């Protein structure tokens, strides 16, 4: 489900080479990256959609790290105050910039400006070729039509486009048709995001999470489509290897969570609060209050590597999997000692 706030993913090499390696989305981002929320919301009367706050924190991050690339995401980053200027700042710092947008704003002139600033990749959602399904999933009538307009505009500008398909009970049954439809539009890059239990989506998990059979059938369909249509399809939210065996889907690269902050999508909000990744609800600390190196090495960050879920204790492939998405465990309130909650969903009667 969409979040209310906006985020900036940062791909960067911290000074001293602390950060390097791949993330759970390696085809899209080389090196490690972090995230930095902007927002149209207000907290305690203070707007979170603030150019000056965002710029101040970006400056702090750039002075603390060698930033390689940044991905702005949402919420909806295209609505951020003086968004182009934030991008210009990052580009002048020689960072590459990509944007994850809901594709709804569909403002050709804004896209033109962003492309001229050198935005390298635009990621947009297109969950189904059926407008009622896509619109229902993003909770906005007419959304598919607007995403299609955005895609057309971006294609005219020769921008690189990745389409994100979140796999739910509602759209997974016709995934092959959606992939074929995307190919007919001239799209070649697709990332499949399995529905992650957490946040707002907790309320809708039974309605939205496909059965294990549906999930496997969806991955098989996508795998076959990648082969037949010669498309670049990746799986981008880590699924426990005991749930989905990547060997069964040889054309779709899948990625495990690193559980190591050197290779995690480190997240900063516009006030400088840092989280280990964009799904984790827990703030590690604030970059204006503590040095980045200290934040990266605090007890909580280390616990991501040190705490092994009881359920995974005897697993021989633990270090390939790391218990799936444990930020999702945090979101469900179970913390790092629990494996990915998708396990409990699929394999009931667990004791951990």
Binding mask 248-267 for ligand SF4 (x = CB under 6 A): ---------x------xx--
- Counting contacts by CB under 6 A, is residue 317 touching ligand SF4? yes
325 touches ligand SF4 by CB under 6 A: yes
> By CB under 6 A, which span of 3-11, 162-170, 204-212, 321-329 interacts with ligand SF4?
321-329
Residue with tokens 């880590």: 238
Q: Quick one: 192 or 238, whose CB is closer to ligand SF4?
A: 238
* Least separation in angstroms between CB 30 and ligand SF4: 16
Instruction: Decide: is 341 part of the binding site for ligand SF4 (CB under 6 A).
Output: no
Quick one: which of 1, 6, 18 has its CA closest to 68?
A: 18
- 222-241 residues near ligand SF4, rule: CB under 6 A: 238, 240-241
Q: Report the candidate in 63, 58, 67, 77 with the shortest Cα–Cα distance to residue 7.
A: 77
User: What is the DSSP secondary-structure string of 303-315?
Assistant: HHHH---GGGTT-
* Sign of the alpha-carbon torsion through 41, 123, 14, 321: positive
Q: Measured from the CB of residue 198, what is the shortest distance to ligand SF4 in angstroms?
A: 9
Is the CB of 104 or the CB of 321 nearer to ligand SF4? 321
The nearer residue to ligand SF4, 154 or 315, going by C-beta atoms, is 315
Q: Which one of residues 138, 182, 191, 327 is an interface residue with ligand SF4 (CB under 6 A)?
A: 327
Stretch that binds ligand SF4, among 121-129, 162-170, 245-253, 319-327 (CB under 6 A): 319-327
Q: Is the CB of residue 42 less than 8 Å from the CB of residue 48?
A: yes
Work out how close the CB of 171 gets to ligand SF4 at its nearest, in angstroms, rounded to a whole number: 21
- 339 part of the interface to ligand SF4, by CB under 6 A: yes
28 scored as a contact of ligand SF4 (CB under 6 A): no
Q: Report the candidate in 252, 240, 262, 342 with the shortest Cα–Cα distance to residue 13.
A: 262
C-alpha 4/C-alpha 12 separation (Å) is: 25
Q: Which is nearer to ligand SF4, 148 or 238 (CB)?
A: 238
Structure tokens, 328: 């999702």
User: H or E segment at 216?
Assistant: helix 212-229
Q: Closest CB to ligand SF4 among 134 and 263?
A: 263
Q: Contact 302/262 with Cβ under 8 angstroms?
A: no
- DSSP assignment of 35-102, as one string? E--EES-EETTEES--HHHHHHHHHHHHHHEEEEEEEEESS-GGGSTTHHHHHHHHHHTT-EEEEE--
Q: Report the residue from 127, 194, 275, 326 that binds ligand SF4 according to the rule CB under 6 A.
A: 326
- Binding residues for ligand SF4, rule: CB under 6 A, are 24, 238, 240-242, 257, 264-265, 277, 279, 311-312, 315, 317-318, 321, 323-327, 339, 343
């Amino acid at each position: 489900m969409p979040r209310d706030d906006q985020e900036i993913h940062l791909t960067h090499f911290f000074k001293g080479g602390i950060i390097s390696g791949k993330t759970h989305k390696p085809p899209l981002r080389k090196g490690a990256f972090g995230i930095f929320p902007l927002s149209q919301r207000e907290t305690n009367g203070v707007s979170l959609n603030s150019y000056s706050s965002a710029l101040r924190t970006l400056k702090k991050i750039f002075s603390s790290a060698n930033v390689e690339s940044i991905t702005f995401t949402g919420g909806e980053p295209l609505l951020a105050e003086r968004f182009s200027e934030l991008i210009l700042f990052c580009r002048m710092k020689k960072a590459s910039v990509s944007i994850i947008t809901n594709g709804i704003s569909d403002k050709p002139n804004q896209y033109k400006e962003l492309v001229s600033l050198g935005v390298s990749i635009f990621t947009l959602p297109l969950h189904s070729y059926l407008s009622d399904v896509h619109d229902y999933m993003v909770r906005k009538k007419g959304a598919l039509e607007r995403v299609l307009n955005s895609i057309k505009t971006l294609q005219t500008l020769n921008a690189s486009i990745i389409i994100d398909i979140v796999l739910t009970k509602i759209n997974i049954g016709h995934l092959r048709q959606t992939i074929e439809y995307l190919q007919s539009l001239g799209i070649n890059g697709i990332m499949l995001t399995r529905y992650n239990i957490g946040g707002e989506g907790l309320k809708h998990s039974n309605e939205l999470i496909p059965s294990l059979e549906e999930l496997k059938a969806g991955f098989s369909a996508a795998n076959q489509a990648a082969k037949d249509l010669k498309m670049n399809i990746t799986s981008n939210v880590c699924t426990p290897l005991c749930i989905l065996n990547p060997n069964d889907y040889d054309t779709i690269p899948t990625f495990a969570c690193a559980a190591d902050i050197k290779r995690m999508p480190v997240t900063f909000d516009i006030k400088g609060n840092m989280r280990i990744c964009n799904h984790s609800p827990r703030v590690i600390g604030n970059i204006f209050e503590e040095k980045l190196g200290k934040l990266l090495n605090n007890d909580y960050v280390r616990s991501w590597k040190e705490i092994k879920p009881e359920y995974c204790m005897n697993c021989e492939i633990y270090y390939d999997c790391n218990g799936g998405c444990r930020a999702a465990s945090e979101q469900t309130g179970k913390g790092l000692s629990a494996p990915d909650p998708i396990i409990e969903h699929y394999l009931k009667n667990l004791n951990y």
